[in-house]
Amino acid sequence: MATDERKILVVDDEPDVATYLEMVLQDAGYTTVTAENGREGFAKAQAEQPDLICLDVTMPEESGIRCYRNLREDEALKNTPVVLVTAVTGYGGDPEPFKNFMSTRDQVPPPDGFFSKPIDREAFVTKIKELLA
């Protein structure tokens, strides 16, 4: 598989989840960096200027939601695609809670992708590729 030089930031406090996502993305040919929480994620994003960010929502220190707002308000990062990968869903993967979150923050544009844990790996990789095409 040809190596894509494009860089993806994975932000998740669960080490196993981060490792898994890294493997899948690396296997798809991307370079990866990781962060453990929202604060570190935003700092890494500013430092690394990734091409795409995979962001968990429920994390200690600073949540993915705060991080997402920061990203969208940052001049250099506001157009960087963000894919939320989260366990925060309703019963049976219902995206309702997420939609609620979006509707109460209408000044924030919706994220570019939304995946419920555990992810459908193929759909996930397809979406990443599409966003980075």
Partner 1 sequence: MTNPSWHSLHGDALLEEIPHGVVVMDHDLKIVRHNHAFEEIFGPSHGKHCFEVYKDRDEECEDCPARATFADSQQRTLEESGLDLHGQTVHYVAQVTPLKDDDGEITHVAAITTDVTTTKRLQREYQTLFEKVPCYVTVLNRDRRVVKANEMFRRTFGEPRGEFCFRLFKHRHEECEDCPAARTFADGGSYTSQHVGMSREGKPTHYVVSTAPLLRGDGDITHVIEMALDVTDVTAMEAELIQASAFRRALVENSLDAIVVTDEKQQVVLMNKAAEKLWQADRGAVIGKKVPVEILPKKLRQSSENGGTVVLPDTKIKTLAGETVPVRLAGMNLRQGDKVLGGAVIAHDRSDIKELEREKITAERLAAVGQTVAGLAHGIKNVLMGLDGGMYAFRSGMNKGDNERMLKGWQMLEENIDRISTFVKEFLEFARGRTPEVKLVSPNRIARKVVDLFKDKAAMFGITLDAELEERIPFALMDEAGIQACLENLVSNAIDACEVGEGGDGQVMIRTHEKDGSLVIEVADNGAGIDYEIHKKVFTTFFSTKGANKGTGLGLLTTRKIVQQHGGKVSFESTVGEGSVFRLEFPRDRLPNPDSDESD
Q: Which residues bind partner 1 (CB under 8 A)?
A: 13-17, 19-21, 23-24, 27, 58, 60-63, 66, 87-88, 91, 116-119, 121
Report the C-alpha gap between 105 and 29 in whole angstroms: 34
**Closest C-alpha among 28, 24, 25 to residue 8:** 25
In angstroms, give the least distance from the CB of 79 to partner 1. Answer: 26
What would the two tokens of residue 16 be?
Answer: 């196993």
Q: Which is nearer to partner 1, 4 or 14 (CB)?
A: 14
**Closest C-alpha among 93, 95, 91 to residue 111:** 95
Q: Which is nearer to partner 1, 24 or 35 (CB)?
A: 24
In angstroms, give the least distance from the CB of 125 to partner 1. Answer: 11
In angstroms, give the least distance from the CB of 37 to partner 1. Answer: 9
Q: Which is nearer to partner 1, 75 or 92 (CB)?
A: 92
Helix 121-132 vs helix 15-27: angle between axes, to the nearest 10 degrees?
60
Residue with tokens 């309702």: 96
